[in-house]
Structure 1
């Protein structure tokens, strides 16, 4: 016995989404044996765009029963039946969540007519209810109203039951260990099955082939499946739009993180919130004025001929220069922490030796500025990070040149690597940014043994890479 269900709601998510109309046809495989249809008072405002889609407005549901009032009828008609709907996870999970909020458990076996249609009648360009019904000559009235859509789903479901091999397919979908009911309705099971249980990044794609989400994982297959169980509004909507999933192996977590960051900034996927913003880099630089006094200053990296050190906001630049002033007795005026002043009077930096008041020679002051510059440059190492490759026959490398992330690559263990030019032959060049800097700095602290320094016997070490 089946209960074929359709609901109209106040939105597209799961939590906080309220039912405005519900229709249930109890179906024995041959004919409808019972029916329940009702408007539902959601006890909240119905958005204008939902009214435009369904025609259901606040006035229509004002005197309708609440879900609590009709819950006994819903439980009775669906009891001991298999819950069937077009894109079943949406209808089922909204009802389950609504029942949870009124203290009632709602658990039923379920079948999805989208996934069943894809398996039993493949080849259609779209499996939306409207387009599928048009292709199959199924009459559908009162589109986007619960009873009209549910009735069309009954006819579609009967056709699926009568299709060749339906018994086997239905049985596999109802298997307790089957993931069919968990997968997005537009995603073929074969696409999910080919995902590897290895580190890397994955792309959720819509029906147009557009990347709508990029993620990273130590275990791609396991992480992808977790999206399908997540009932947050964003995840539900994203999964409903997912028609395909692609992936790239990374071999290790660091590369997965770096690859994810690059992919997000390249594709700007709809459902990725983090890392989309292009952060403007700033560089600290030095110059000598007409009086022969050396200055430290900062500006956008694009305006700096040769950056001594890079930051990703002006606050970090100022704080760093303040630290240099304190450590090397530099003048806030000539470090551009104070502008348009005759002499410095910085509230945090009070150890200037008087260069701004003519009490110190430029040569003595410049020696301390040069010492500060050498301190900055000492942080700009050129090195590689060596980690696990995608296979046992290769290593993964991350290249950092003079403190700037340059890219990553995969090197066969049999390859002869004797110079930075040899390394560059395997490197996919990437842009350095705030996220990559943080990722690499964190990795260096946690995994110091993975660093191979160009300045300390690198060539000898690299031959073993």
Structure 2
């Protein structure tokens, strides 16, 4: 038994998307055996553009029942039935959310007539309900009203059931483990199947071929599939628009992060949250106290007269200073990583040699601080190359940093010998140094203790 459903909504996103009209046809595989259709009071204003599309306005639903008042009707007519709709994840998601808001868990098996049509009626230019009905001569009246669209979907469903391979296709789509059932309605399974389980970046594209989202992943196929299981408003809307997916291999997570950042900056996809410059910059600096002890500390850039190293967020700044403190056996108290008037007792940094207890001389301690300062200055001016795994076994990925500035990345065959910076630069794909790339590389260099980092002769 099937219930073929269509809804009209206020169009404010899934969690704020309230139903204004619902139509349900109960269908036994041969004929309609029951129907429930009703306007619904969404208890929120209906936007003008929605009224222009559906004809439903605030006055029409003023005296209509609320979803709570018709919830028993919906539960009853759909009980034991397969939930069928055109782009089913939208209708099902909105109805499930309406039930959740009144404390009821609504769960039904689903079938999507968009995906079924793509499988059983291949080769059409469009699978939107209006164009699909026109192509296969299904009468469609009262377009963008729940009953008109639901009834047209019934007629479409009848045709799909009559197709020679329908039984096999329906069983496959109803299989809970079938990826086919989870894919966006406009995305061919063949496109998903060719996505590899490797690190890289991926592009979601709509039916016009426009890139609407860019992401990165260590495992491209697994990450892309994760979008289709996500039930958040943004993810459901994005996936409903996705008609194609492209990808580029990166070889490693670090290169994928850098590639993703560059592509977001270049394309500004609508479903990517803009990578905004953080409001405050922080810097590490040094000063000498009244006892002659040299301190390392950090503050906002405005409060630092002579910064040793600049960061675009406090987290990276503090993490870097913690590493310096550990590497040079400095005192957390005199690196301002612990606010105390007595000896240090930091939970992570235990390498202090006793300056805070009078067990280490000021001269010895200050000498170590100067070594740390020279180290920071040297890193800011040297040429550094990070070597990562390539896209294939026979190549390496390289990331070039010169004078503290990210220059770009590239891929080099393992058989090629690099002996100078000039040799290496020929393989580099130039990139812009941004707040995001600096943060990515800073965090990487702090965390990766075993990474292959080496200097190239200039």
- Asked if TM exceeds 0.5, the reply is yes
* Unpaired stretches in structure 1, ≥5 consecutive residues: 283-314, 325-371
Quote the residue 1:417 is aligned against. Answer: 418
The aligned counterpart of 2:305 is: 321
Contact 1:408-1:427 within 8 A present in 2 as well: yes
Aligned partner of 2:186 in structure 1 is 186
> Greater Rg, structure 1 or structure 2?
1
Structure 2 counterpart of 1:48: 48
Q: Deviations over 1:356-415 (max 9, x none)?
A: xxxxxxxxxxxxxxxx99985762221100112222222111011222111111112121
Please give the alpha-carbon distance, in whole angstroms, between the structure 1 residues aligned to 2:51 and 2:32: 29
Change (3 A) 1:41 1:137: same
The alignment partner of 1:90 has SS state of: helix
Cα shift at 1:30: 1.5
Q: What is the match of residue 362 of structure 2?
A: none
In 2, the alpha carbon distance for the partners of 1:378 and 1:271 equals 37
**Separation of aligned partners in 2, 1:320 and 1:217:** 38
Distance 1:127 1:12 in 2: 24
| Cα pair 1:89 1:181 within 8 Å, conserved | no
CA gap of 1:322–1:149, structure 2 versus 1, over 3 A, is same
3-state secondary structure, aligned to 2:14: coil
Q: How does 1:134-283 map to 2 (within 5 A)?
A: 134-275=134-275
1:26 match: 26
Provide the rounded CA distance (Å) in 2 between the counterparts of 1:253 and 1:321.
36
State the 1:185 CA deviation: 0.6
Give the match's secondary structure for 1:265. Answer: helix
- Counterparts of 2:99 and 2:244 in 1: how far apart (Å)? 32
In the alignment, structure 2 segments of 5+ residues that lack a partner are: 282-298, 309-372
Kindly state the Cα deviation for residue 179 of structure 1 after the two structures are TM-superposed: 2.2
**Residue 318 (structure 1) shift:** 4.2
Distance in 2 of aligned mates of 1:378 and 1:169: 61
Alignment partner of 2:380: what SS? coil
Give a deviation string over 1:170-192, Cα, whole Å, max 9, x none: 11111121122321110111211
Q: CA RMSD in A?
A: 2.4
Q: Report the alpha carbon displacement of residue 442 of structure 1 after superposing the two structures with TM.
A: 1.3
In the alignment, the residues of structure 1 paired with residue 396 and residue 376 of structure 2 have an alpha-carbon distance, to the nearest angstrom, of: 33
**Shift of residue 21 of structure 1?**
0.6
Aligned: 1:388 with 2:372: no
Work out the CA distance in 2 between the residues paired with 1:12 and 1:108: 24
> 1:438, 1:216 → 2: CA distance?
16
User: In 2, are the aligned partners of 1:12 and 1:233 still within 8 Å (CA)?
Assistant: no
Which residue of structure 2 lines up, in the alignment, with residue 305 of structure 1? Answer: none
- 1:425 Cα deviation after fit: 2.4
Residue equivalent to 1:405: 406
Please state whether the residue corresponding to 1:190 is helix, strand or coil: helix
Q: Does the 8 Å contact 1:381/1:453 carry over to 2?
A: no
State the secondary structure of the residue aligned to 2:429: strand
Shift of 1:48: 1.6
Task: For residue 274 of structure 1, report the CA deviation from its aligned partner.
Answer: 2.7
TM-score (normalised: structure 1): 0.77
Partners in 1 of 2:376 and 2:45 — Cα distance?
Answer: 62
Match in the other structure for 2:434: 433
**Preserved CA contact (<8 Å) 1:86 1:113:** yes
Q: Using the alignment, how far apart are the partners of 1:223 and 1:268 within structure 2?
A: 21
Q: Quick one: structure 1 residues 25 and 374, their matched pair in 2 at CA, closer, same or farther if it must change by over 3 Å?
A: closer
CA distance in 2, matches of 1:14, 1:48: 18
Does the aligned pair in 1 maintain the 2:379–2:404 contact within 8 Å? Answer: no
